[in-house]
Amino acid sequence: MHSFISHSSDLPAGTRFDWPSDGIAFGGDYNPEQWPEEVWREDVELMRRAGVTTVTVGVFSWGLLEVADGVYEWDRMDRVLDLLHANGIGVDLATPTAAPPVWLLQAHPEIAPVTETGVRYAQGGRLGWHPSSAVFRRYALRMVRALAERYGTHPAVRMWHVGNELGNENHRSYDPETAAAWRVWLERRYGDVETVNAAWGTEFWGHRVGSFAEIEPPRFSSTAHNPGLALDFARFTSDALLAHYEAERAVLREVTPRLPITTNFMVMNNPGTDDYARWAEEVDIVANDHYTIGSDPLRHRELSFSADRVRGMAGGRPWLLMEHSTSAVNWQSVNRAKSPGEMTRNSLAHVARGADGVLFFQWRASTAGAEQFHSGMVPHAGAETRQFREVTELGATLRALAEVQGSTVPRARVAILFDTEAAWAYTAARTPSDLVRIVDLPRAVHEALSARHIAVDVIRPQDDLTGYDVVVVPTLYLARDADAAKLAAHTASGAHVVVSYLSGVVDEHNRVRPGGYPGAFRELLGVHAEEFVPLFADESVALDDGSTATLWTERLVVTDAEVLARYADGDLAGLPALTRRTVGAGTASYLSARIDADALARLVQDLVERAGIAPIARADAGLEITRRVGADASYLFAINHDGEDRAVDTSGVDLVSGRAVAGRLVVPAGGVAVVREGANA
């Protein structure tokens, strides 16, 4: 079993834990309480057949463990853990606090979140608590302590899983107790109320407040709330949820100092409701849940982007894919089954981008309850199915990749800057176009680079930029002064930087930086936009380099930059669209429009060539290529997302097929390969 260094700031730097499995962790959420005990015996038999190493147990089981206030029933959990241990399966034990028991909700309805329109959540769902509830905290920590004392030394237990997706169903609450906690948070952040007034610009509509007591959460009102207030409320909520995690962590740490602790993030195709890059500093292992959107034809690319975001949060270290699905989910409008091979490609793509575990929600598809039609590793139709056969094959593939565990994806030379706070700032305001979604351009840039097999990291603007010869700043709506200054210095030292529209528009209080957009980067770029000119859904504008803009254009003024392309028609005809300025040893380009995919690809390719960055390997389009590097070997991942066979130049041994590769590997349509590289590998 490998050891790994904890991320968590509550421990001395360099603290190590054992990785929860030998090799790559494989398994999923296991909810045996939904089944009679004879099914458990079949479960472990099938788990062994599939090569399951790790299961997450007890996620929503509070109501079954604490059956009445202070009355615990452990028998079933005892038997489950013993059975798993007897079968060599490790347990990621969840604190069951994600779903409060019915008796607690009945006795204390005030623990439930309240919507912005003032409706208290009723019982019947999950995450029916808000993190500012003192009563909830007291009950939750008592439960956590009881669980840790009972099972902290059980030999099956390898790690702790705090709650579940904190902030998923309970990502905002507008109840009076939350309002009080929000005021305390504001007082701590700003010191006095005049500073709050100044930061938010409460002169507007005469919204001045005379004391913290007069500040309310952004409840339902006649129109939009102040963007500074709304952004701070998002920050506060993320902090309140994190504080709940930290409170559970403190109990677990005290009782079981030798077990690693995590909670599962939700880094997917959205900005996110929690500031996970910040949360990553508080978990021992970064763990993520990822679900593809079946109707998105480019969902595998979204997956790669999300996985790279997670690796960025993990500081490049191995992380855990805590949940994904074997096939359909049950919460999209059409819950499309995954195509044959898609689950394996999805799983391997996470591993390719640094995951050392592939877990699913859930082991066995439920027959009762709200997730009846969600796929499982064992579907309703049982084990003699395509789905379970593919699960078993995946288990075998991951076993063959055991030596990859502990290797890492080397730091790339290209970085995309992405910041959750910046995304919140954008969604907290009424912005010029609802058609522009803040993850779209970062994702498109990531796609353009990945399609050319260029390694890329997705990091925060606050992170260290050393070694990034190309830095892309796509729709980074909010930029702090210090980060803008750092980017300018980094450019001058030789980096090639491209900043897009809707970047650096506001400061950390969500106030527009006056003097023209993109305020924070204006000087660096030698341009400013006088006016945003967003386009309607069916509109497009030609540029004189042959490309086309949709969704977004700007009236741009050049003060000190070379014009690379101009608008060719429409209101902006003849005005600059794309510029570049030489800054010291580097260059700073500005993209004022949402250009088509080919033009975007040419733009990034040009920067990559200027910086002399080579692809990870020479490979056909349609292959996803990454490399992980370990102490003794490096591993080339090639995932074929195409309907045709595709080739990559490499030599070594393909660990998936066991075959030697000399010079060139053909990856069959829809197939995967992981080559331990080297002539004698």
Residues marked active site are found at 165, 323
391: enclosing H helix or E strand:
helix 386-400
Compute how many residues bind ligand GAL; rule: CB under 6 A.
10
Vertex 231 angle, CA 225 and 236, to 5°: 115
Report, in Å, the least distance between residue 375 CB and ligand GAL. 9
Q: Please select the residue that binds ligand GAL; options are 137, 249, 311, 374, rule is CB under 6 A.
A: 374
Contacts of 616 (CB under 8 A, 6+ apart): 453, 454, 455, 625, 626, 627, 636
Range 235-294, binding ligand GAL (CB under 6 A): 289, 291
419 binds ligand GAL, rule: CB under 6 A: no
Q: What are phi and psi for residue 543, nearest 5 degrees?
A: -110, 160
Closest distance of CB 85 from ligand GAL, Å? 24
Closest separation in Å from C-beta 101 to ligand GAL: 17
- Looking at the Cβ atoms of 99 and 404, the one nearer to ligand GAL is 99
Q: Nearest approach, Cβ of 421 to ligand GAL (angstroms)?
A: 23
Q: Pick from 50, 199, 329, 543 the residue near ligand GAL by CB under 6 A.
A: 329
Smallest distance from ligand GAL to CB 326, Å: 11
HSE value, Cβ hemisphere, 13 Å, CA-based, for 398: 33
Applying CB under 6 A, the span of 164-172, 504-512, 616-624, 641-649 interacting with ligand GAL comes to: 164-172
Helix (H, G, I), strand (E, B) or coil at 470: strand
Judged by CB under 6 A, which stretch of 163-171, 203-211, 237-245, 515-523 contacts ligand GAL?
163-171
Q: Are 99 and 111 in contact (CB under 8 A)?
A: no
Nearer to ligand GAL, 323 or 447 (CB): 323
Quote the least distance from Cβ 210 to ligand GAL, whole Å.
42
Cβ closer to ligand GAL: 168 or 651? Answer: 168
CB 331 within 8 Å of CB 325: no
The answer to whether 336 touches 328, Cβ cutoff 8 Å, is yes
What's CA 439's distance to the chain center, in Å?
Answer: 12
Shorter beta-carbon distance to ligand GAL: residue 321 or 591: 321
Residue pair 533/624 in contact by the 8 Å Cβ criterion:
no
Cβ atoms 533, 571 nearer than 8 A: yes
Binding segment toward ligand GAL, per CB under 6 A, in 162-170, 181-189, 430-438, 481-489: 162-170
- Give the distance, in angstroms, between the CA of residue 81 and the centroid of all CA atoms in the same chain: 30
Nearer to ligand GAL, 168 or 408 (CB): 168
Q: What is the 3-state secondary structure (H, E, C) of 475-544?
A: CCCECCHHHHHHHHHHHHCCCEEEEECCCCCECCCCCECCCCECHHHHHHHCEEEEEEEECCCCCCEEEC
Is 463 a binder of ligand GAL (CB under 6 A)?
no
Smaller CB distance to ligand GAL: residue 266 or 449?
266
| Distance separating alpha carbons of residues 97 and 127, to the nearest angstrom | 8
For 63, residues 6+ apart whose C-beta sits below 8 A from its C-beta are: 99, 100, 101, 102, 103
Q: How far is the CB of 306 from ligand GAL (least distance, A)?
A: 14
Residue 60 Cβ, how far from ligand GAL at the closest point, in Å?
A: 7
Smallest separation, CB 337 to ligand GAL (Å) = 14
CA distances from 35 to 40, 67, 235, 277, 369 (A): 7, 18, 41, 38, 12
Q: Of 236, 265, 361, 388, which lies in the binding site for ligand GAL, with binding defined by CB under 6 A?
A: 361
> Chain-centre distance of CA 477, in angstroms?
19
Minimum distance, C-beta of residue 378 to ligand GAL, in the bound complex (Å)? 16
Of 374 and 646, nearer to ligand GAL (C-beta) is: 374
- Which of 375, 503 has the CB closer to ligand GAL? 375
Q: Which of 43, 66, 165, 342 binds ligand GAL (CB under 6 A)?
A: 165
Residue 164 sits in the site that holds ligand GAL (CB under 6 A): yes
Question: Rounded to an integer, what distance in angstroms lies between the CA atom of residue 212 and that of residue 194?
Answer: 10
Minimum separation from the CB atom of position 410 to ligand GAL (A): 31
Tokens 């079949």 sit at which residue?
42
Can you tell me whether residue 39 is helix, strand or coil? helix
Q: Which residue lies nearer to ligand GAL by CB, 169 or 531? A: 169
Q: How far is CA 479 from CA 135, 420, 532, 589, in A?
A: 38, 11, 18, 17
Q: Which is nearer to ligand GAL, 238 or 375 (CB)?
A: 375
Dihedral angle over CA of 639, 644, 645, 649, nearest 10:
-60
Among 282, 323, 342, 554, binds ligand GAL (CB under 6 A): 323
Residue that the structure tokens 């609450």 belong to: 173
Indicate the residue among 161 and 628 with the shorter CB distance to ligand GAL. 161
What's the Cα-to-Cα distance from 605 to each of 461, 589, 600, rounded to whole Å? 22, 13, 8
CA distance 295 to 134: 42
End-to-end Cα spacing for the chain: 23
- Contacts of the segment 506-509: beta carbons below 8 A, 24+ positions apart: 506/227, 506/425, 506/429, 506/477, 506/478, 506/479, 507/478, 507/479, 507/480, 507/481, 508/421, 508/478, 508/480, 509/199, 509/200, 509/201, 509/228, 509/231
Residues at the site binding ligand GAL, with contacts judged by CB under 6 A: 164-165, 168, 289, 291, 323, 329, 361, 371, 374
